[in-house]
Structure 1
């Protein structure tokens, strides 16, 4: 069928002009845009009833904004009833009513049996006794609320599943605490790794993007020049090379259960002087066999009768989906047959791209150039029919999908993230209804997550599991205050309330935590090292935030120099079963003055095996 499909049945009216096909927006109001939560009243500081300081403690955001009750009760697409004002996370609210005869307040005067008033001295004594009972009772209640039910609850949470972001669990006090433990990565008998191999960089005549790397049971697979190459896991020797008619220009972050990878590539090889070709070809690669199973292209959308150009690609279930400025299209994984094609919309709408994995979510841009807005649509992967949608706030030009189940979106609202991270806020959405559950403000000066703003599925340093979003802080001075003593923390946010969890992971002095992926309920993270140490791979329990060392690289200066040449912001870092791979994402024409010793590898591998 063509895309966009009709809206789902029995949906409430969209005040912006219809589900899935909104009209151009009206003059924006003075208040923040529709679907954008308001700032709640300030809450008292943790353990202190006075006005909180202007800035929160480092590593913790200000109280998250919760959406307020709109004026019209039938609003749709971001409407969320106003939540009652609550104290900071972990601080108990005042009991509203006595429970089981438990006193809530001390009252005076106290009447004696027979209607006689007690003496003033006796009233003082009774009041003091009641006050002591009240303090002890609240203390016990507070201790229990902090522990979340003790070891039993922790054991239940840790029993979760290994399904990554699609599963979660609940802890005490009504807070969903996610799933901890249960990962497949276990520490070896000896965690000390050795450098196993290096792959040299190929020569290129101009800047070339070689993003894309994967690990299978048989090979480490890396994008090359007009090719994809599978390398032996232990030796680094090529096992197979898949030649392509042009350079790869987009790869999926997800693969199918049987290691099938969707790719985008150019129809011809690049030639001087204009080292560029249009990204029009869609294909599916068998990563085990090193074969191109099918390839195709498609017309439509703003490309008209020409081949549609795509910027990114993903997969969900049996559907490959590609998006770009010409619109979105989808293909059957089995044979490449189109499920839907790009189509020009009378609302100037087009799918910029899709988030894949457990679900399929479209990021859709609509409206005339000077008043464009962005829709997040959870869609049926087989038909493209929207299941739900959420209109992003005014000031959002692009959006990135961090996770499809649970649905988490990152965006830079009003270009307020001036550090190039592409993230000022995270939006936790109900994928079934499209309603906003929580908006999490992540100050760009404080948090280190990154998204390429024009790419839908490009976020790094942020991971999601169960009901938690994990984001590292920016580097800051460590405890010693010495030069080079930068460190950071890994913070967890609750996706229902938007609040920070009380637990956090500390990188330790001179190390920096970089979350890579989820492994069951564990976060697999790379600890970027100081100049005189080797990097580490750790598994961090998603609930307790306690870490387990899986691998540590050598501290030898020459080996350390190679490792430090792979910056986590501009390199790909993969870990699996005792093997660590670091690879470049961009190649440049060699400098004429460069010596052989200055050459950095395309890939470097470390192993505990």
Structure 2
């Protein structure tokens, strides 16, 4: 199988896509090595996302003004459905600092960034000099207080090693072994064993294998041209769904009855691209339906797909389409000649579209909450000019990440987070995320719903801090932001020495995170209490060298990590030619005894 073909001549070239990764980040190493470069996976191309070349920075733009609610519109994707939503120019930015919605005046700034202090336009002399001194002192204090969490290793506090005490169960009653606000139980012993391993498929070319799910009583994982359902406890193959070509994109979302959607390449791939959208029943291992939509005589190629309620929605450079997940009925599809196209969708509790309008090089992005059945636009937020790509971190609460003006400069796709009221389309807060302070990755270029290591839930945004190295070893932390104000909540936690924390998902009111290990230990899954922010270990991988070597080949910012019911699954998103250095894996599975 060759890599997916390039876009037709009339299509602007895409960045990212299905290529081998470029520069792998360093892994953990023994402390005597300095600087710690870490053991690398056997083949540098494996498992790492491609890092687009940095673009010239365009400065830090003013925060966008809050947007008015959008008027109800007719069915999505049909004539009359999309009037020009941005014919009215936005209000000019204020010269006196952030606009409404960007937190609140006087709120604490992000570490490493001085607070905005407006200066008067008149006067001078001693009063002006005194004011300058006060401002300088305020900046210094803000930097010391804000940055202190990076250099002081705050106590984890309250780490329970499988205490299994009596806490609130998911149904609101009193159960044994659970955590307050979460469904995942605390085991009597968090020590895990290897449940099974699946070798990486040997392919002539780098081939995408993205897509993994815990649903329908199985752990399901895409291969080169197939999806396999494994017994999550032992790895026995329960079913295999063969496909005519490789899976180009897979929904991260799955319905309660175990249904999801994928996009794959047909066997006659010449000129067809990733044009086949299919519904999949993960409980049975069957393909529910396959659909192709066309503009004129050409099939539309899609680069991402998601599921919301009982709708599968796929998007790409040529626009988006949606299908009934049960029957495959087309709910909407791209309209010829439309100047606006759905680049992609975020799914789950709600359906959100990232809609690109205008030219390819200078688009205007609209973040639209959509009725998943009718396609009606419920609300809309228009992003400022200079944002070419955006990623959906969460649809409920609605949080979007973007690299504003290419200012991130590192290929992460994140310079700022935008908290949006999904009901009205009003901007609630804009949260800067400078790369020397925070980590996380979003591939908004062609995969709208592909953020890793950042999680939104309830009224909070959980962001990992950048990895640091000091006298007490390597480490980082996780900080919570209030989505209504953009301010830090004061909730923060530091990793244990030598570990790095990566948020995975919410478990009720708790945050689940993966701790990537130091050179001599196994990784861990921890549950961080949503109120106290104390961590409890749910699972700890074996420390044997062969097990550690396999685990450290699955990096949190590229591999797919799933945890549920005391089992932890790590899987690769690319297959490639077999390495002569060491064995590589498509799936690694770990579990505790109870």
Shift of 1:585: 0.9
On the 8 A contact 1:489/1:513 being kept in 2, the answer is yes
Structure 2: distance between partners of 1:380 and 1:310: 21
Structure with bigger RCO (C-alpha 8 Å, 6+ apart)? 2
Shift of 1:37: 6.2
- Which residue is equivalent to 1:242? 241
Shift of 1:210: 0.3
Matched, 1:402 2:393: yes
* Alignment CA distance shift 1:540-1:23 (3 Å): closer
- Structure 2 residue runs of 5 or longer lacking an equivalent are 1-69, 75-80, 112-133, 150-166, 173-178
* Alignment CA distance shift 1:474-1:504 (3 Å): same
Structure 2: distance between partners of 1:367 and 1:253: 29
On the 8 A contact 1:492/1:503 being kept in 2, the answer is yes
- Which residue is equivalent to 1:101? none
Matched, 1:380 2:371: yes
- Which residue is equivalent to 1:100? none
- Which residue is equivalent to 1:437? 428
Residue in structure 1 matching 2:576, options 578, 588, 595: 588
- Which residue is equivalent to 1:350? 341
On the 8 A contact 2:197/2:587 being kept in 1, the answer is yes
- Which residue is equivalent to 2:328? 336
On the 8 A contact 1:182/1:522 being kept in 2, the answer is yes
Residue in structure 2 matching 1:547, options 529, 535, 545: 535
Structure 2: distance between partners of 1:42 and 1:8: 33
Shift of 1:39: 9.4
On the 8 A contact 2:220/2:230 being kept in 1, the answer is yes
* Alignment CA distance shift 1:535-1:487 (3 Å): same
Shift of 1:384: 1.0
- Taking the TM superposition and a 5 Å limit, the aligned residue runs for 1:228-377 are 228-268=227-267, 278-300=273-295, 304-346=296-338, 348-377=339-368
Structure 2: distance between partners of 1:217 and 1:40: 45
Shift of 1:558: 2.0
Residue in structure 2 matching 1:52, options 120, 139, 142: 139
Matched, 1:600 2:592: no
- Which residue is equivalent to 2:84? 21
Structure 1: distance between partners of 2:315 and 2:592: 40
- Structure 1 residue runs of 5 or longer lacking an equivalent are 1-6, 12-17, 62-157, 164-179
- Which residue is equivalent to 1:511? 499
On the 8 A contact 1:25/1:371 being kept in 2, the answer is no
Matched, 1:465 2:457: yes
On the 8 A contact 1:34/1:393 being kept in 2, the answer is no
- Which residue is equivalent to 2:402? 411
* Alignment CA distance shift 1:286-1:38 (3 Å): closer
Shift of 1:36: 8.4
Shift of 1:287: 0.6
Shift of 1:29: 5.8
SS at 1:527 equivalent: strand
Q: TM-score, normalised by structure 1?
A: 0.71
Structure 2: distance between partners of 1:531 and 1:35: 46
SS at 2:219 equivalent: strand
On the 8 A contact 1:583/1:603 being kept in 2, the answer is yes
Structure 2: distance between partners of 1:442 and 1:60: 17
- Taking the TM superposition and a 5 Å limit, the aligned residue runs for 1:189-228 are 189-216=188-215, 218-228=217-227
* Alignment CA distance shift 1:605-1:9 (3 Å): closer
- Which residue is equivalent to 2:554? 566
Deviation track 1:4-51 (CA, whole Å, cap 9, x = no partner) reads xxx74499xxxxxx97524678699686999886797667899x9951
* Alignment CA distance shift 1:465-1:370 (3 Å): closer
Larger Rg belongs to: 1
Residue in structure 1 matching 2:565, options 577, 588, 593: 577
Residue in structure 1 matching 2:486, options 498, 507, 515: 498
* Alignment CA distance shift 1:512-1:535 (3 Å): same
Structure 2: distance between partners of 1:458 and 1:488: 22
* Alignment CA distance shift 1:365-1:43 (3 Å): closer
Deviation track 1:343-390 (CA, whole Å, cap 9, x = no partner) reads 1355x1111011111111111011134532101111111111111111
SS at 2:299 equivalent: coil
Alpha-carbon RMSD: 3.1
Shift of 1:315: 1.1
Shift of 1:60: 8.3
On the 8 A contact 2:345/2:351 being kept in 1, the answer is yes
Shift of 1:188: 1.0
On the 8 A contact 2:510/2:528 being kept in 1, the answer is yes
On the 8 A contact 2:102/2:429 being kept in 1, the answer is no
On the 8 A contact 1:408/1:429 being kept in 2, the answer is yes
* Alignment CA distance shift 1:261-1:43 (3 Å): closer
Q: TM-score, normalised by structure 2?
A: 0.73
On the 8 A contact 1:35/1:391 being kept in 2, the answer is no
Structure 2: distance between partners of 1:496 and 1:564: 37
Shift of 1:463: 0.9
Give the helix-richer structure, 1 or 2: 1
SS at 1:279 equivalent: coil
Aligned residues: 469
